[in-house]
Amino acid sequence: MLTKIVLSLLLVVGSPVFSIPLNTHTTAVNLAAKFKVAGVTNIVAGDRARAQALHQAATSGEHYANASITNVAPIGYTIQVGIGNPLKHYGLLVDTASGNTWIGADQDYTVTSTSTGTGNTVSVSYGSGNFSGKEYLDTVTLNSLSISDQSVGVASEYQGFRGVDGVLGIGPVSLTKGTVSNTDTVPTIMDNLFSQNSIQSEVLGVYFVPVSQEDSTGTLTFGGWNSSLMTSDITYTPITTASPASNYWGIDQSITYGDSTILSSSAGIIDTATVLILIATDAFDTYKTATGATLDETTGMLRITADQYSSLKPLIFTIGGTAFTLTPNAQIWPRSMNSIIGDTSGNSDNIYLIVADIGSKTFSFVSGYTFLERFYSIFDTTNKRVGFATTAYTESASN
């Protein structure tokens, strides 16, 4: 059965919803992109803090470890999720680097006839935010699609989540280890969709339209993918064996700028809740030098001139033997959205790059939504692999 859900993802400008044809063997969720302004403008610092916390959590096995809050990224994809009976809808951040689903930030949880308190406590840190509270089992509804007895954290304390009600965790179940008292791991949304026979394969397809588009939208496809949104075959690569990236949706890749390799094949993660593309410091320094960019102190991002932009070379990610290329336009932040990253000059012609330094003691790379909006991505728990394909927006010049 094909189930459609309209989700909202908040943009600083309006975002109408449109229908997308879907494969009949999948259960799909249509999103309308919406981005939130969280009051903190340094995206680089927020993304870096998140990467370091995720690395620390995977290394120590303590996903509930406390972390100081430095910055919160002002942008995130949220999904409208119904919980309880009668339904109450919550806007949850879509997060492939977390397994826990929780609510109670901007909007309080309402106990209904389907709510069951377990007596357990739950706590998770994200580096750029954290929460702690109590665990409930409740019915989670995505339009006509219903999940019973889903573990839902209800926050009594939280930091770093202004503009959203909580998190929808669609990462590996191992990420829930140690987050709930008296429990080893708790089934994720994807686990329960599969075990309750709502989907035939534990596979999630993710499609984002670049945020610079007037009709910025996206689609989550549960149980498969939407081939009509792809312009190439799918390239699959196995989850990396390199720890700690192997705890997440981690893959091996190399990165080339023009003809020069800036990052040899190494392990990192794919993350919908990270904004930028973070790479190892030595690779970042090489990229910075090659592009001629300078570090902008206000935004924390690399900035280039119009002449340097005209000379930008392709940035090539080799994954599973296939080259996925970010064109020069795909390497820059949407100029019409410069105010979101803290550019107070009012000059929409300023050009910032979306590649940033990941910092020390973390992964070799984290590819955030600015990478994912140029490619269709598939997160395949059943076969322990990640897939990518090009889309109509891979070579878009909208930035």
47, 95, 138, 343: the catalytic one is 95
Strand partners for 140:
83, 147
Say how far apart CA 208 and CA 150 lie, in whole Å. Answer: 26
Say how far apart CA 202 and CA 194 lie, in whole Å. Answer: 6
Q: Fold for 6-205, please state it.
A: Cathepsin D, subunit A; domain 1 (2.40.70)
Token pair in block for residue 259: 């003809």
Mean pLDDT of 95-113: 95
47, 252, 271, 296: the catalytic one is 271
- More confident call, 253 vs 214: 253
Can you spell out the DSSP letters for 185-201? ----HHHHHHHTTS-SS
Within this chain, domains 6-205 and 226-390 share the same CATH topology:
yes
pLDDT at 22: 29
Does residue 397 carry a pLDDT above 70?
Answer: yes
Does residue 3 carry a pLDDT above 60?
Answer: no
271 is catalytic: yes
CATH number corresponding to 226-390:
2.40.70.10
- More confident call, 179 vs 144: 179
Mean pLDDT of 62-69: 35
Q: Are 36 and 93 in contact (CB under 8 A)?
A: no
pLDDT one-digit tens code per residue, 192-211: 999 999 888 999 999 988 87
Nearest to 394 by CA among 367, 368, 371, 365: 371
- Average model confidence (pLDDT) for the chain? 85
Token pair in block for residue 59: 């290394």
> Percentage of the chain with pLDDT > 90?
64
Nearest to 68 by CA among 150, 131, 127, 145: 127
Say how far apart CA 275 and CA 368 lie, in whole Å. Answer: 5
215 is catalytic: no
| Residue-wise burial string across 324-337, b where 16 or more C-beta atoms lie within 10 A, e elsewhere | bbbbbbbbbbbbeb
pLDDT at 18: 23
Q: Are 222 and 204 in contact (CB under 8 A)?
A: yes
Does residue 146 carry a pLDDT above 60?
Answer: yes
Mean pLDDT of 66-81: 52
- More confident call, 335 vs 9: 335
Say how far apart CA 150 and CA 295 lie, in whole Å. Answer: 45
Q: Coil, strand or helix: which one is 139?
A: strand
Q: How is residue 348 annotated by DSSP?
A: T
Question: Minimum mean pLDDT among 93-97, 139-143, 366-370: which range?
Answer: 139-143
Cα atoms in the 13 Å half-sphere on the side-chain side of 19: 5
pLDDT at 241: 98
pLDDT at 344: 82
Token pair in block for residue 343: 């550019």
Q: Are 180 and 169 in contact (CB under 8 A)?
A: no
Nearest to 56 by CA among 248, 252, 265: 248
pLDDT at 41: 56
pLDDT one-digit tens code per residue, 231-275: 999 999 999 999 999 999 999 999 999 999 999 999 999 999 899
- Domain ranges within the chain, ordered by starting residue: 6-205, 226-390
Find where tokens 């394909």 sit: 389
CA distances from 201 to 143, 144, 185, 221 (A): 20, 19, 21, 11
